[in-house]
Amino acid sequence: MFSGSSQQFEFIEARVPRTPTPTPTPLPTTPPSASPTELPTAHPTSHPTPNPTASPTSNPSQAPTENAAKSLDTLWDAGVRNAGVMFEVIGKKNIRITGIDIYTPYTDQFSVRVYESIGGMSGKERSSNLWIKVNQGIVRGAGNNNPTPIEGLSSFIRAGQKKSFYIDTPGDVSRVRYSPVKINTGNIYKENADIQLLVGTGNDSNFGNYYTERMWNGRIHYELV
């Protein structure tokens, strides 16, 4: 689920303070034996137990790999529907896009095609030969106030690289929602420490007419690589 505004709440679990012992013992107390020995050991060991860890790690990892799933939303207020959208993504770190959510009011099944192109999309809006189809399938729309996921993507973007994406839902029905924005196409709309999402266009199907200063409603799913 999502809403027009997003808030994050953090809860910190309360910690109960411990009361120190007024007069601490020099050695920690150990639980008494349930069956104490009646007689002492006749032949106690002359050698202490060796260290349990034979070869501890000398250089633990200082920077573990960050491969947890992450995401970044655009907006969810719709306003316009059409067959498709184009937008650009810039990697601030090395990332792999693993999925894209779109916003559609429909709950039936429909076809979706995802194209990508290295670099910006300016001048490519109506040139199918400058794009590569990276995903095609059938999705079921999740309806109003729910993201509809497009899964099965694996698109690598290195730090500093820009890639363009075109999501097309071929057919006569305008299924994809997006919003007019007062930001020029190609400028940053949303970013975090990992990626930047740039303003794109609303598009007719099959690389048809396009409309600038439009921001796709949805979410990018990615991981750091």
pLDDT at 67: 72
Burial class (CB in 10 A: 0-12, 13-18, 19+), 149: middle
- Dihedral sign (CA 124, 129, 132, 133): positive
pLDDT at 22: 47
Question: Measured between alpha carbons, how far is 124 from 217 in angstroms, rounded to an integer?
Answer: 21
pLDDT at 50: 53
Concatenated DSSP letters of 64-108 = ------EEEE------EEESEEEEEEEESS-EEEEEEEE--S--S
Question: Measured between alpha carbons, how far is 112 from 166 in angstroms, rounded to an integer?
Answer: 10
Question: Measured between alpha carbons, how far is 193 from 72 in angstroms, rounded to an integer?
Answer: 11
As given in the structure block, the two tokens for residue 176 are: 């994809």
Question: Measured between alpha carbons, how far is 140 from 108 in angstroms, rounded to an integer?
Answer: 5
CA dihedral 6, 158, 215, 193 (to 10 degrees): 30
pLDDT at 42: 54
Q: Over 116-148, what HEC string results?
A: EEECCCCCCCCCHHHCEEEEEEEEECCCCCCCE
pTM: 0.72
As given in the structure block, the two tokens for residue 132 are: 């590569």
pLDDT tens, position by position, for the chain (225 residues)?
554 433 322 221 132 333 444 444 455 444 444 445 444 545 555 555 555 556 555 565 555 455 789 999 999 998 899 999 999 999 999 999 999 999 999 999 999 999 999 999 999 999 999 999 999 999 999 999 999 999 999 999 999 999 999 999 998 789 999 999 999 999 999 999 999 999 999 999 999 999 999 999 999 999 999
Q: Which residues neighbour 54 within 8 Å (Cβ) at sequence distance 6 or greater?
A: none
